[in-house]
Amino acid sequence: MIENNWKNFLKNMGEWQGCFTTVSPDGKLLESISSILNLEALENNQLVRFRLRRYGAEGYNSPPISDYSQEYRSLGRHLIFFDSGAFSKGSMQLAPFAEFGAEYGFVNGDPSKWHREARSSFACRFQRSSFAFCSTLRRYQVSDIRY
C-alpha cells in the first residue's frame, strides 16, 4: 500500500493553476483566491517538492501574497492516493475543541488522460474560534506536466 500510495502521488506532478474559493455553511461565496500549485519530483522520484503560491485581487499578474513550500520523502497515514491520482486526506482523530478537517481531491474526466484533465478538491475544516465549518473548493487546470 505504501509503495502504491507514493506511486499514485507521483501522478500529480506538474504545475496546476486554479483558485481557493471559500464558502460559508449556508452556501454564500466568501472569497476566491487565485493560486498556482507546483509538485516537482526530484532525486529519482524519491523527493517531491510542493509549492503553493496564492495571489491577491490582481491575480497572476502581481507578486504572490503567500508562497509556501514543503518537501516530502514519504506520506503520512492520513493521506491516501488512488490509481487515478485522486486523493483523500484528513485528521486521524476527532476530539472536543481540537482542530480537524478533511480534503478530497478528484480527477475530472478519463483517468487514463489524467495529465490533461482538470482537478477539483473539497476541503472542510472546523474552526475553533467560530465553531463553524469552512468549505474550500479548489479547481486546477494543468498548465505544465513534467514526467
Residue 133: predicted pLDDT: 44
Q: Which of 55, 49, 41 is CA-nearest to residue 72?
A: 49
CA 106 to chain centre: 10
Amino acid at 61: N
Residue 71: predicted pLDDT: 97
Residue 87: predicted pLDDT: 84
Q: Which residues pair with 70 in a beta bridge?
A: 50
Question: Grid coordinates standing for 146?
Answer: 513534467
Task: List the chain residues with pLDDT less than 70.
Answer: 1-2, 25, 96-98, 108-119, 122-147
C-alpha count within 13 angstroms, C-beta hemisphere, residue 88: 5
Topology of the domain comprising 2-144: Lipocalin (2.40.128)
Residue 113: predicted pLDDT: 56
Q: Where do the domains of the chain lie?
A: 2-144
Distances from the Cα of 12 to the Cαs of 37, 52, 133, 142, in angstroms? 10, 14, 28, 10
Q: Find all residues with CB under 8 Å of 38, minimum gap 6, and list them.
A: 14, 15, 16, 49, 50, 51, 52
Compute the distance between CA of residue 140 and CA of residue 27 in angstroms, rounded to an integer.
21
Residue 68: predicted pLDDT: 96
